[in-house]
């Protein structure tokens, strides 16, 4: 059960967000409403280009909604804040700082903890994500997977109430990705914070999620929300359970509909709608 003291409930109320170019206006989110429950790991999944990153940017405070409200614990988002941190696509570690200095950056920027406290936690976190031997390496000296883990540690040391993961494991090979998911789940199950994880991979989404939000194609809304009732702590064997396969089939079906719509809309391919995964 979720402790009522937990903060970090995110509410989207009729949010509309459009991007203007000189001639056209592209609506990315259209009267989009949903709730991200506090203390849970919510995974947002949808066809590529459906505005998932925009949702992350709105919560983080990098963008503002054109209409509607984004509320955190009842208050509208005013701008970027250390309560809401992002692990970026690809990674945005500061390349001129070592792994250790990257992690220390947040605590030292605001001085919410002493250097000694920060040092202790940084070492602790980096060891937990398997970077204990790489403290003084620069990001360029690390592999893709290591960079993602360092970025995770850099955000988590600040104990954000909402952790935003923007396709953080994109571009990693299958093996590394699996390992990253396990590292990540271990950290989430310890941290009890609110997590929003954006991905376009169904397996990843179901394996990680407490709750799955499926988006429609652009202009995006919530198409469906699913509670993923797989047991925790999750281990890889869950991927062979009957319930997992059921949930996967259901998600695929919903996503397939959107994918067909998307390809019809863009006119790039003409897929026969009757074919596909429906049985």
Partner 1 sequence: MSASTLNTTSNLWKQVRKTVANWTTVRRIMSVLLFLLAWTILVQFTGQFHQIPTPAAVFAALFQLKLGVIFTEIFRSFVRVLCGFLLGLLIGFPIGVAIGYSRIANYLLFPAVEMVRPIPPIAWIPLTVLFFINIESQIVFLTFYGAFFPIVYNTMGGISEVDIRLPRAAMSFGINRMGMLWKIILPAAMPQIFTGMKVAIGITWLMVVAAEMIASKGGLGYWVWYHHTVMEYPMVILGMGIIGLCGALCSVGIDVIGSHFMKWRNIF
Choose one: 4-12, 90-98, 210-218, 227-235; the region binding partner 1 (CB under 8 A). 90-98
Q: Is 238 left (phi over 0), alpha (psi -120 to 50) or beta?
A: alpha
Residues 53 and 265 sit within 8 Å (Cβ to Cβ) = no
What lies within 8 Å, CB to CB, of 218 at 6+ separation is 26, 27, 28, 49, 50, 51, 262
- Tokens in use for 149? 């883990």
Interacting residue with partner 1 among 18, 97, 222, 250 (CB under 8 A):
97
Q: By CB under 8 A, tell whether 136 contacts partner 1.
A: no
86 binds partner 1 per the rule CB under 8 A = yes
Outline where DSSP puts E strands in the chain.
10-20, 25-36, 41-45, 67-72, 75-76, 84-87, 162-166, 194-199, 211-215, 222-227
Which residue number, 91 or 216, has a Cβ lying nearer to partner 1?
91
| Minimum distance, C-beta of residue 195 to partner 1, in the bound complex (Å) | 16
Q: Pick from 27, 35, 92, 239 the residue near partner 1 by CB under 8 A.
A: 92
Contact call for residue 234 and partner 1 (CB under 8 A): no
- Interface characters, 52-81, with partner 1 (x: CB under 8 A): --------xxx----------------xxx
Closest approach, Cβ 154 to partner 1, in A, equals: 8
Q: How many residues does the chain have?
A: 279
| Coil vs helix vs strand at 269 | coil
| 105 is a site residue for partner 1 (CB under 8 A) | yes
Shortest distance, CB of residue 111 to partner 1, whole angstroms? 9
Round to whole Å and give the CA distance between 130 and 184: 12
CB of residue 132 to partner 1, shortest distance in Å: 19
- Total residues contacting partner 1 by CB under 8 A comes to 25
Does 237 bind partner 1 (CB under 8 A)? Our answer is no
* CA Rg value for the chain: 19
Q: What residues make contact with partner 1 under the rule CB under 8 A? A: 60-62, 79-82, 84-86, 88, 92, 94-97, 105-106, 109-110, 138-141, 158
């Amino acid at each position: 059960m979720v402790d009522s003291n937990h903060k970090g409930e995110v509410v989207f109320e009729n949010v509309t967000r459009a991007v203007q170019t000189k001639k056209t206006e592209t609506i990315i989110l259209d009267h989009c409403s949903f709730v991200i429950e506090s203390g849970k790991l919510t995974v947002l999944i949808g066809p590529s280009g459906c505005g998932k990153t925009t949702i992350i940017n709105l919560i983080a405070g990098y963008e503002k909604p054109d209409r509607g409200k984004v509320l955190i614990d009842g208050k509208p988002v005013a701008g970027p804040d250390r309560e809401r941190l992002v692990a970026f696509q690809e990674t945005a570690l500061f390349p001129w700082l070592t792994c250790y200095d990257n992690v220390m950056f947040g605590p030292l920027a605001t001085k919410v903890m002493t250097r000694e406290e920060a040092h202790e936690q940084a070492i602790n976190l980096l060891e937990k994500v398997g970077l204990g031997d790489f403290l003084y390496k620069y990001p360029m000296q690390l592999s893709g997977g290591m960079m993602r883990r360092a970025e995770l540690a850099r955000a988590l040391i600040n104990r954000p109430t909402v952790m935003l993961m923007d396709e953080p494991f994109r571009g990693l090979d299958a093996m590394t990705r699996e390992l990253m998911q396990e590292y990540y789940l271990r950290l989430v199950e310890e941290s009890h914070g609110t997590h929003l994880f954006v991905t376009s991979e169904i397996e990843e989404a179901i394996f990680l999620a407490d709750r799955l939000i499926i988006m429609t194609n652009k202009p995006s809304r919530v198409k469906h929300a699913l509670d993923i009732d797989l047991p925790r702590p999750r281990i890889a064997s869950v991927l062979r359970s009957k319930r997992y396969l059921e949930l996967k089939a259901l998600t695929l079906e919903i996503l397939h509909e959107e994918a067909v719509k998307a390809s019809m809309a863009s006119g790039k391919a003409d897929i026969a709608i009757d074919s596909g995964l429906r049985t």
